[in-house]
DNA sequence: CCAAAAGTGTTCCGTCTACACCCATGG
DNA sequence: CCATGGGTGTAGACGGAACACTTTTGG
């Protein structure tokens, strides 16, 4: 292969993933103690270096898979972070991605093995490098998306109650919403289907379980919360 | 300096800038014929490699300044583009930025010297590498921003008529809006100030010139179009 | 029988939209 | 005197927000 751009500087490039999960009425992020120098022991996002044979998206997907064992995780780029001194070790340009997973799909053994914790989005400690900034940007992006695209379902089990959906939405946007108005909006979306199944765990009376029907959604992709 | 991350691959990193301008009722982008191999002669965005002593933002700002001679250009990151084969020459990871300038501030000599042309956003030819994708993403981002933040003024002279402002807005969102409704919304924003000056170029009667007052805006930053 | 969550409609108010005519002036 | 763009108000439709009570059942 010919090299055209010889004279220019090359950089380490990493991806850092902000993994969101929803649990016990709270929106959480997976973070862990950094296991290498520099910054060993500090709270940090999970990340990895990009290798020559993978695109940035692939690198992020691989990182997510390595961490969770899950494939086809919903994932979006947050942006590139490139301050000269952002990494105390050496110059590294990092591309952040956020991902949404259902906490129950995530094997606890894997979580512990990687030394990760689910931390409430409102109680995030100081993180390594510029990771707090990354989390903030990711949240902003996700908040926008969740109002116009059906990504909530990525954070919930495939069967869920309307109360669960509402609690999730409230946790993401950070404010409470009116139950009747919320359910009215849901009723207008045909791709959120009521099943015959009843969830008896959450209440004595039991709550109807709903399902997101992606096929119906694709016929008329209109989502608005 | 200690090196911590020895074993990993390094990459060329570039920035590519999507420079928007508004002229003759049209939203335009600055593109030029690529002046190096590979892809010499193809239409392309302007870009440059990132060097060791500058952040990504600085690299983008430098690229913009080199090109236009202007400082303090409004500029936002679009995102990182990192497909393995995106550049036909060698692997390059590129971070795209969009920028807004007032066409009249831009020295024509500089434009010609760099071989650049203002091209209507609706008539963009096939560009080098993934640059069409970058432009599309930049437009989407800019369209969102222009509805909630006072960035329109970056594309206009410091004194402008309401018709100019409306034409700009229409060009960006790609549809026509009602004159009276538009002006009603503008009236509600105190930071868009009417001056005593009259523009006589655009019509026989003359049109009042307005100005964006940033100080007033900062006291109550509410913008909604 | 009672605590706890599920489920359900209506009214009001503010916002958005549609719409048409007169004004001032240069040529 | 007329062509051209500048400037202005109102009424009706629509969508979002506020709001309270009944149902079911496990313990």
CB of B201 within 7 Å of some strand D atom: no
CB of B201 within 7 Å of some strand C atom: no
CB-CB under 8 Å, A11 with B92: no
CB-CB under 8 Å, B1 with A38: no
CB of B180 within 7 Å of some strand D atom: yes
pLDDT at residue B41 is higher than 70: yes
A181/D17 CA-to-C1' distance in Å: 8
Best B1, B2, B3, B9 residue to mutate vs chain A (most A CBs within 10 Å): B9
pLDDT (mean) for B194-222 = 96
pLDDT (mean) for A15-36 = 96
CB-CB under 8 Å, A2 with B89: yes
Contacts of B58 (CB under 8 A, 6+ apart): none
What does residue B48 show for φ and ψ, rounded to 5 degrees?
-165, 155
Predicted local confidence at residue B218, as pLDDT: 96
The percent of residues in chain A predicted with pLDDT above 70, rounded, is 99
CB-CB under 8 Å, B2 with A57: no
pLDDT in tens, A59-103: 999 999 999 999 999 999 999 999 999 999 999 999 999 999 999
User: Least CB-CB distance to B49: which of A5, A54, A89?
Assistant: A5
Predicted local confidence at residue A6, as pLDDT: 76
Position of tokens 């799909």? A105
With an 8 Å Cβ cutoff, is B208 touching chain A?
A: no
| Alpha-carbon gap, residue B65 to A107, rounded angstroms | 51
Q: B65 to chain A nearest CA, in Å?
A: 19
CB-CB under 8 Å, B56 with A81: yes
pLDDT (mean) for A3-24 = 92
pLDDT at residue A156 is higher than 60: yes
Q: Where residue B6 falls among pLDDT bands split at 50, 70, 90? A: confident
Contact yes or no for B13/B49 (Cβ under 8 A): yes
pLDDT in tens, B71-86: 999 999 999 999 999 9
Q: Where residue B60 falls among pLDDT bands split at 50, 70, 90? A: very high
pLDDT in tens, B137-184: 999 999 999 999 999 999 999 999 999 999 999 999 999 999 999 999
Cβ within 8 Å of A, B 76-135: 77, 79-84, 89-93, 95
CB of B162 within 7 Å of some strand D atom: yes
Predicted local confidence at residue B44, as pLDDT: 98
Q: Say which nucleotide is closest to residue B181, CA to C1' distance.
A: C17
With an 8 Å Cβ cutoff, is B213 touching chain A?
A: no
| Alpha-carbon gap, residue A215 to A197, rounded angstroms | 20
Predicted local confidence at residue B2, as pLDDT: 57
Best B3, B7, B10 residue to mutate vs chain A (most A CBs within 10 Å): B10
pLDDT (mean) for B40-61 = 97
* Residue B91 CB coordination number (10 Å): 19
pLDDT at residue A2 is higher than 90: no
pLDDT at residue B38 is higher than 80: yes
Predicted local confidence at residue B118, as pLDDT: 97
Report which of B176, B132, B221, B158 is spatially closest to residue B25, judged by C-alpha positions.
B176
User: Least CB-CB distance to B80: which of A10, A84, A95?
Assistant: A95
Contact yes or no for A13/A95 (Cβ under 8 A): yes
H, E, C per residue of chain A = CCCCCCCCCEEEEEEEEEEEEEECCEEEEEEEECCCCCCCCCEECEEEECCCCCCHHHHHHHHHHHHHCCCCCEEEEEEEECCCCCCCCCCEEEEEEEEECCHHHCCHHHHHHCCEEEEEHHHCCCCCCCHHHHHHHHHHHHHHHHHHCCCHHHHCCCEECHHHHHHHHHHHHCCCCCHHHHHHHHHCCCCEEEEEEEECCCCCCCEEEEEECHHHHHHCCCCCC
Predicted local confidence at residue B7, as pLDDT: 86
CB of A203 within 7 Å of some strand C atom: yes
pLDDT in tens, A189-198: 999 999 999 9
pLDDT at residue B1 is higher than 60: no
Nucleotides of C under 7 A from a protein CB: 3-10, 16-20, 23-26
Q: Where residue B122 falls among pLDDT bands split at 50, 70, 90? A: very high
Q: A199 to chain B nearest CA, in Å?
A: 40
Q: A79 to chain B nearest CA, in Å?
A: 5
pLDDT in tens, A168-185: 999 999 999 999 999 999
Predicted local confidence at residue A144, as pLDDT: 96
Predicted local confidence at residue A24, as pLDDT: 78
CB of B184 within 7 Å of some strand D atom: yes
- Global pTM? 0.96
Predicted local confidence at residue B24, as pLDDT: 78
pLDDT in tens, B84-113: 999 999 999 999 999 999 999 999 999 999
Q: Say which nucleotide is closest to residue A179, CA to C1' distance.
A: C7
CB-CB under 8 Å, B9 with A49: yes
């Amino acid at each position: 292969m010919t090299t055209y751009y010889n004279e220019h500087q090359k950089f380490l490039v990493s991806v850092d993933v902000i993994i969101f999960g929803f649990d016990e009425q709270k929106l959480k992020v997976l973070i862990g103690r950094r296991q290498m120098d520099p910054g060993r022991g500090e709270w940090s996002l999970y990340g990895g270096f990009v290798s020559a044979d993978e695109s940035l998206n692939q690198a992020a997907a691989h990182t997510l898979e390595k961490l969770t064992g899950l494939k086809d995780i919903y994932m979006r780029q947050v942006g590139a972070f490139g301050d000269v001194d952002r990494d105390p070790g050496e110059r590294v340009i990092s591309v952040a991605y956020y991902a949404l997973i259902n906490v129950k799909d995530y094997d606890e053994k894997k979580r512990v093995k990687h030394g990760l914790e689910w931390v409430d989005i409102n109680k995030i400690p100081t993180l390594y490098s510029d990771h707090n900034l990354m989390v903030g940007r990711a949240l902003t992006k996700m908040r926008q998306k969740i109002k116009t695209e059906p990504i909530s379902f990525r954070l919930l089990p495939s069967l869920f109650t309307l109360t669960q959906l509402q609690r999730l939405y409230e946790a993401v946007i950070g404010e409470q919403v009116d139950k009747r108005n919320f359910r009215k909006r849901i009723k207008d979306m045909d791709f959120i289907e009521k099943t015959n199944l009843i969830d008896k765990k959450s209440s004595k009376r039991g709550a109807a379980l709903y399902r997101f029907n992606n096929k119906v959604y694709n016929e008329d992709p209109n989502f608005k919360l």
